[in-house]
Structure formats: C-alpha cells, structure tokens
C-alpha cells in the first residue's frame, strides 16, 4: 500500500484557498531538511554552548502560511532557510511583511493568490513601486 502522508505541494509556492483555510485553523508541521552551517549567516560567528545554531525561516513560518498562503514546502526550502543563533540572531533574520513581499518579488513571484485579503494585496502593490531590495542573509535567491 502506498504511503500518502507528507506528499508535498508539487513545487507550488502558494497554497490553494482550501488548504490555506485549513492551515489558518491549525498551522502545519515544519520539516526543514537543510543541514545547519558551522557559522551563523546573520552575524558570522560559530555557535556557543549558551547560544546554539539552528535553522531559521527568513520569511517566518507563521506569517508565510497565515498572511501570504505560502506552502510549508516553500517555507522550509533552502531559499527561505538560514543558519542563525537561537537566542540572538533568529528573530533578527526574519523579515517583516513588506520585506517578505520584496523577497518574494526578488525570487520571481509576480502575483499573490486572489483569495488573500485586500490589505495584503495593497501591501503587495507597495512593493512594486519600491525598487529597493530586501536584505538576504542566506545568499540564496532561487526557489
């Protein structure tokens, strides 16, 4: 019998509306496969006993799923994961909503799903008028 659990999202960046509605009720589990690097991509220092390194989401998992309807597969991909210190750098490596949208544009995303709220689309339009790019601690710009 074929195992039908964790079959992924077929490379999609965005959730379908019914998937988004489900995950807004209960967020999905994270499955980061990328190995941690030996140094923090935010500050450049190695881990210490009181501040270990961990995988961190550049576009936060919560914001990505709830606000932007991004698939867990995209959010856990190497395009969105950096190595950061748990205590001092993890939060600093997360982008704001506006910076997350700029990052999506830099990754080649040209439009958001139509089912997202109007305020999300209005913020998206703000990013098209702004030609500046967001900071990218990972150096990875491909999906």
Please answer whether residues 82 and 138 qualify as being in contact, where contact means their C-beta atoms are separated by less than 8 angstroms. yes
By C-alpha distance, which of 84, 83, 138, 129 is closest to 107? 138
pTM of the model: 0.83
Which pLDDT value is given to residue 109?
96
42: which 2 tokens? 């935010």
Section 21-28 average pLDDT: 93
Q: What is the pLDDT of residue 29?
A: 85
Are 54 and 82 in contact by the 8 Å Cβ rule? The answer is no
What are the boundaries of each domain within the chain?
A: 17-129
Q: pLDDT tens digits for 79-115?
A: 999 999 999 999 999 999 999 999 999 999 999 999 9
Whether 52 shows a pLDDT value over 70: the answer reads yes
Asked if the model's pLDDT at residue 7 lies above 50, the reply is yes
Residues above pLDDT 70, as percent of the chain: 85
Helix (H, G, I), strand (E, B) or coil at 139: coil
Greater model confidence, 5 or 114: 114
**Is the pLDDT confidence value at 128 over 90?**
no
Q: What is the pLDDT of residue 110?
A: 95
């Amino acid at each position: 019998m074929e195992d039908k659990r964790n079959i992924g999202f077929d490379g999609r960046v965005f959730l379908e509306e019914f998937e988004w509605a489900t995950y807004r009720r209960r967020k999905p589990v994270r499955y980061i496969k990328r190995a941690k690097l030996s140094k923090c991509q935010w500050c450049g220092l190695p881990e210490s006993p009181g501040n270990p390194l961990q995988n961190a989401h550049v576009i936060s998992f919560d914001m990505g799923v709830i606000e932007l309807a991004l698939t867990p597969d995209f959010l856990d991909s190497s395009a969105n994961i950096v190595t950061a210190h748990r205590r001092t750098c993890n939060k600093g490596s997360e982008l704001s909503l506006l910076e997350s949208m700029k990052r999506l544009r830099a990754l080649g995303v040209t439009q958001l799903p139509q089912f997202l709220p109007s305020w999300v689309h209005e913020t998206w339009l703000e990013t098209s008028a702004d030609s500046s790019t967001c900071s990218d601690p990972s150096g990875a710009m491909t999906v």
